[in-house]
Chains A and B, each alone.
Chain A
């Protein structure tokens, strides 16, 4: 699929490098057209799925005569069905995503990650949707698989801005309900909410049979908290500013961060989401390559 890319946040070289990789769903998907992803519904692909006992009414053409010869019983031979994928990109646009490192904010990074994934998905014929949310949905584009739709998604992604408080938890719950069929939900956020709340969101999405992938964006300074003098920290999400001496609370800050990350690891382990913790100084091409390779089914490796 040839696309005229006018979105400057997308890197042509990264797209070309990643175009050789395919985006796979970890769970069977229910699509409306044939595609490259497994479906929970048995179909007519060449991929053997399973045997099951014959019951009256079954198409006798699908009986496995060799199995009958061996066991003297009737078995129906079933094959996997291949379908397309619905990918919903959920991008956090709360004020905290505007936190920048060397000129690149977390939202910029999220834009690149989401845009590139959208391009790759569209390239392999999958449907792409976009949900940008701060306190509530700012942009809500349901998944579709047309080139025009991709343009819309990329344009919207390019124009979104970070502001306000975060409402990611509500947005994820709502997304779980709004996306009607199994889909790949890609969350790109700094996840500055309590791990317990994150756990509920992921549980909800998993309950709805969605394949959940998370890009947890962090900035180096947020992790290390390296300041040498008292600072007035202004909340980027509009809260009260805090005057603090990093020499006094630095250790405690790092300890709090450590506890948070450990809790988050536990949530990830329990909810089995595809989690990627990323420092935004990393090259997003490498990050996405790792992501795509990680999702490649083992038999293809």
Chain B
């Protein structure tokens, strides 16, 4: 229990006062000669039961009354659960605030979101209590740790405002750990305010073990979780899955795929039955608004291929899709930007003309006739001619680049483009010394020889994502039919996307900050594999890589809100909404930004719309063995986390004193036979 006047607790030994007075009183007895000893002894025998208990109770009541008075003066703080925490003054208090979009779910009556409620209650608690020498804030959007002057300031900081980002709770805890270790803080209180969304907590991540272990080693760290796990009472979210600008003759139109998701009891009627409901979706493009009504089912609604005619001269621009207001205002509007589809340009670098032609053929055929593909095949000695700015995909077949070219390739990838590396035909028993992205080629291996440990079959590939993902209908790519006759060993710590039956890698994606870099251990020509002959896998793989690399070529891009999402250009200016004024918070809020001819639409990530709430047991399990307390709160609950208890103690004191008075009341004498009457009565009989 924490106290506003802890010094008053020094007076606690005074609770022994009634006992001491009782003992002194016992010693201050007078001596009196007494005749009726037989009644005295009988009375003493009788008083060993209830009377003695009553006397002890009177003493106890007096002790409790003094204790209650002292506690009242010391002004204890409590909030039900808080009363049993038993904490003393911390050296530092860290507030880990989840600013993700889902934290903006509001209580419709109070008009307060989970984030604002948590902040207010926490600020009130810290204001009443003692938050120590340092009060620090780690917000999920920036992930940065910053010192705060006072709890009240928490309510007005830009870094505690709502954001469209997702949270990374493990990373925030790691930041907190780093601070506590670096500053060797003694007792520290860490308050986590979150709605326990699975994507924010990532409860299955291996990072939690390390976090738990490090917290175990930290003595005096106490974790509190303000858990707003209650789902919204009724909420709809809208998202534009796809937006494309097409031209038909002299006209132009936008084609949008819009998804509406339901959450909570949106479709539940007054009698608890699920009822279909129509919801208007408002589109705004170039200041022109249109409304389309969709019918919701239990999962929501999907509006595929919705066409909005636009001015043919409008080659790029922005728009938004909106829903009527509900529990979470942050997911009721989705911004999108559009532009003419860019020319998908790929460069194949190979000294082998045959191999280069194979790549060119696979890349030159577009998946959509409305998209233009452009492929250049150049030898190694003409690398300097590559137009890095306008290229989306780089195919590099040969010895890994080094020096300036290697730097250019890395820069190319870090700008969000894709590079695919295929081995050189040069046969060396050991790998060359060149390495790129911490990867290097090894020696060539044959799958046809008697000594070979593989027949060149693909034993496993990653079908859920990336280049070899299953088709949209769920059909797997025919990698099982692929035959590899020769492959080259490859050394890397990257993510395996496909491997042979001897566990040797076929396709690997290495770690990069932006973009993607792939290493394929064989060549498409018939001498090495059936990639070209079977075709499907080869074509899909290259087309996906080109599509991914060309995304950054478009002047309009859809981006998930995060701290550095607008770092690629310097002159981003907000287009909509215009009220976002804080430069530091750009990229954290949903909106549209423009830099000369480039457009960027910032929205909450897709996973933020779909995220489920992690189970309380799973979250509690993350803090097993730590000093941890979860406080379950509802978004509508605006009561203080801690309140002063002195009134309760005063009332308790009054009650105790009344009890003491009742217990001290003398027993009623028997009305029928008062002793005096008995004494003077005469029993004369005759």
Chain A: residues with CB nearer than 8 A to chain B? 26, 95-99, 106, 190, 192-193, 218-220, 222-224, 229-237, 239, 241-245, 247-258, 260-262, 264-265, 268-269, 272-279, 282, 290, 294
Interface stretch of the complex, out of B28-36, B254-262, B335-343: B28-36
Among candidates A26, A251, A272, residue contacting B666 with C-beta atoms closer than 8 Å: A251
A267 closest partner in B (C-beta): B683
- Contact A260:B39 (CB < 8 A) given known A231-B30, A233-B32: yes
Interface stretch of the complex, out of B186-194, B492-500, B674-682: B674-682
User: CB-CB < 8 A to B681: which residues of A?
Assistant: 265, 277
In the bound assembly, the distance between CA atoms of A33 and B25 in angstroms comes to 66
User: CB-CB < 8 A to A229: which residues of B?
Assistant: 25, 28-30
A240 closest partner in B (C-beta): B37
A18: shortest Cβ distance to chain B, in Å?
17
A230 and B25 within 8 A (CB): yes
A192 and B683 within 8 A (CB): no
B51 and A251 within 8 A (CB): yes
User: CB-CB < 8 A to B41: which residues of A?
Assistant: 242
Most chain A beta-carbon contacts within 10 A, residue among B31, B35, B685: B35
A251 and B30 within 8 A (CB): no
Most chain A beta-carbon contacts within 10 A, residue among B33, B39, B669, B680: B39
Most chain A beta-carbon contacts within 10 A, residue among B28, B38, B51, B680: B38
Asked if B204 CB lies within 8 Å of chain A CBs, one says no
Known contacts A95-B35, A255-B43, A256-B39; 7 additional CB pairs below 8 A are A96-B35, A106-B35, A192-B37, A220-B676, A230-B28, A233-B40, A251-B667
In the bound assembly, the distance between CA atoms of A219 and B681 in angstroms comes to 14
In the bound assembly, the distance between CA atoms of A132 and B55 in angstroms comes to 44
Asked if B26 CB lies within 8 Å of chain A CBs, one says yes
A44: shortest Cβ distance to chain B, in Å?
27
A255 and B680 within 8 A (CB): no
In the bound assembly, the distance between CA atoms of A235 and B680 in angstroms comes to 25
Report the 6 A-B pairs with minimum CB-CB distance, sorted nearest first. Answer: A96-B35, A275-B683, A99-B35, A253-B43, A252-B43, A268-B683
B33 and A256 within 8 A (CB): no
User: CB-CB < 8 A to B55: which residues of A?
Assistant: 245, 247-248
B52 and A26 within 8 A (CB): no
B51 and A222 within 8 A (CB): no
Asked if B684 CB lies within 8 Å of chain A CBs, one says yes
- Contact A239:B37 (CB < 8 A) given known A258-B675, A277-B681, A278-B680: yes
B35 and A236 within 8 A (CB): yes
In the bound assembly, the distance between CA atoms of A145 and B680 in angstroms comes to 33
A-B contact pairs, 23 of them (CB 8 A): A97-B35, A98-B35, A99-B36, A223-B676, A230-B29, A231-B30, A235-B34, A236-B35, A242-B34, A242-B37, A243-B26, A252-B46, A254-B669, A258-B678, A260-B39, A261-B679, A268-B683, A273-B683, A274-B684, A275-B682, A282-B680, A294-B682, A294-B684
User: CB-CB < 8 A to A220: which residues of B?
Assistant: 676, 679
- Contact A237:B43 (CB < 8 A) given known A229-B29, A231-B30, A290-B682: no
B33 and A254 within 8 A (CB): no
In the bound assembly, the distance between CA atoms of A277 and B347 in angstroms comes to 131
In the bound assembly, the distance between CA atoms of A220 and B670 in angstroms comes to 17
User: CB-CB < 8 A to A265: which residues of B?
Assistant: 678, 681, 683
In the bound assembly, the distance between CA atoms of A268 and B676 in angstroms comes to 18
Among candidates B42, B678, B685, residue contacting A261 with C-beta atoms closer than 8 Å: B678
Chain B residues 651-678 with CB under 8 Å of chain A are 666-667, 669-670, 673, 675-676, 678
B680 and A277 within 8 A (CB): yes
User: CB-CB < 8 A to B374: which residues of A?
Assistant: none
In the bound assembly, the distance between CA atoms of A276 and B683 in angstroms comes to 6
Among candidates B29, B39, B47, residue contacting A248 with C-beta atoms closer than 8 Å: B47
User: CB-CB < 8 A to A244: which residues of B?
Assistant: 40, 43-44
A123: shortest Cβ distance to chain B, in Å?
23
Asked if B686 CB lies within 8 Å of chain A CBs, one says yes
User: CB-CB < 8 A to A193: which residues of B?
Assistant: 38
Among candidates B26, B37, B44, B683, residue contacting A237 with C-beta atoms closer than 8 Å: B37
B39 and A26 within 8 A (CB): no
In the bound assembly, the distance between CA atoms of A174 and B47 in angstroms comes to 38
Among candidates A190, A232, A233, A269, residue contacting B683 with C-beta atoms closer than 8 Å: A269
A243 and B40 within 8 A (CB): no
A256 and B685 within 8 A (CB): no
In the bound assembly, the distance between CA atoms of A264 and B34 in angstroms comes to 21
B56 closest partner in A (C-beta): A248
A59: shortest Cβ distance to chain B, in Å?
34
